[in-house]
Structure 1
Amino acid sequence: MDIITTLVGSSWICAVALFAVLGDAFLPLIPSGTLVILAVLNTARIDGAPLMLAAGVAMASFLGDILLLSLARRGAPSVRRRLEHRPQLAASVARVQEALDGRTTGAAAAIVVVARFVPAGRTVLDLAMGHSPSHPRKFLRWSALAALIWAAYIVTLGWLNSHWFDTAWLSLAVSCAAATTISAAVARVVRRNRRLATV
């Protein structure tokens, strides 16, 4: 009975987390990682919940990519306006397009996976592929792989901390701090490599 009560009581945060993961392709400021960790902490006592949540997160992440990619490829007015009014975003999209062109399959796949761990990287990548003349089929395969890797990473992070610490608030704080630190480190490496490439 306790497990059923926990499951029902936690279902709302799981739903919110999945919608956040789906939506942060469009609005990268949504704290989807934090919400997923919160969902993990709320379902940690339920057998099999982390695996189910990871599968849901991966699917939501992949669907978000498909939606934004489709809108960008169709030339949706909202996407065009977003690029026109945000020159910095447009410049980032152009840089990613240039980085993907002419790369080997492995290098391009690595860019797609790494973008998942960089703040707003997923949005820039989807818009870049949406405006690229190349066929998106390969990108969607890499996107699915990136979604699985990120989902496994963020759910595992929350699950480990839920077992290491006795209190939920400390588990959440440590998990979010670790996720932020890792994202910042990846972003720093990406910026450094970009600077070196232009020298």
Structure 2
Amino acid sequence: MIFGSPEAWGTAVYWWSIPLVLGDAIFPPIPSEMLVITGGALAAEGRINPWLLGAIAALCSWLGDVLVFQLFRRQLSSVLDRWGWGRRVHRGIHRALERAGRSSAYGAIIGARFLPGGRLACSAAAGIGDVTARGFSFCAAIGAVLWATWLVGLGYFTGSATRLPFWASSLIGVGVGLAVGAVLGLIITKRRGNRSPVVEPGTED
């Protein structure tokens, strides 16, 4: 596969988006955002259908969030704490929530996915907390649609505006997305007030 050739990507973008967007819910370093933005840039060249890509990305994002929510709702955190790597994951979630601060639970479910690591942290916190499954699913669906629309639209806009090769437009879109995420993270961090609702391993409830 020649990665710089749009013909080499084709419908493969649809298939790759499924495991990457799903996996991103559990392991944030997976570059699902880059793939979806690249898909948007390819759509600007008429290579793929942006609506289909957006629908797949939104559905997989929602499914991944619901999976994480249900796992932590069923006390996955206590299982993780049995191993050293699990305690590191648990502490990582805690630190991510500390950076984001405590805000409206439902608003955070929708908006936290735009911050680095925010999707996992918020879904885990909602599972540990008192958020209802119906409320979480509804807000996660709204957030997933907004997230997919933003990323596909960002790739499509940069591709249409720059007329550069799709991979160059994708890199520009990723840069813009990172900058917007950094600004949002800075704003939310400055507004944080209370301690994160997640209790670190080894501490009292």
RMSD of the alignment, in Å? 2.7
Count residues with an aligned counterpart.
184
The one-letter amino acid paired with 2:39 is: A
**1:91 corresponds to which residue?**
94
Cα distance in structure 2, aligned partners of 1:86 and 1:10: 36
> 1:145-160 alignment to 2 at 5 Å?
145-160=142-157
How far off is 1:184 after superposition? 0.8
Q: Does 1:180 find its partner at 2:178? A: yes
How far off is 1:140 after superposition? 1.3
The structure showing larger relative contact order (alpha-carbon pairs under 8 Å, at least 6 residues apart) is 2
Alpha carbons of 1:47 and 1:170: their partners in 2 closer, same or farther (altered >3 Å)? closer
Alpha carbons of 1:166 and 1:188: their partners in 2 closer, same or farther (altered >3 Å)? same
How far off is 1:41 after superposition? 2.2
Cα distance in structure 2, aligned partners of 1:163 and 1:56: 22
How far off is 1:73 after superposition? 1.7
Answer whether contact 2:44 2:157 (CA < 8 A) is retained: no
Alpha carbons of 1:133 and 1:108: their partners in 2 closer, same or farther (altered >3 Å)? closer
Deviation track 1:62-121 (CA, whole Å, cap 9, x = no partner) reads: 00011111211223376445552346425347759x936xxxxxx433222220111000
How far off is 1:7 after superposition? 8.1
Structure 1, gaps ≥5 residues long: 1-5, 101-106
Give the 4+ runs in structure 1 shifted more than 6 A: none
Structure 2, gaps ≥5 residues long: 1-5, 195-205
Cα distance in structure 1, aligned partners of 2:50 and 2:61: 16
Of residues 187, 190, 200, the one that matches 1:189 is 187
**1:126 corresponds to which residue?**
123
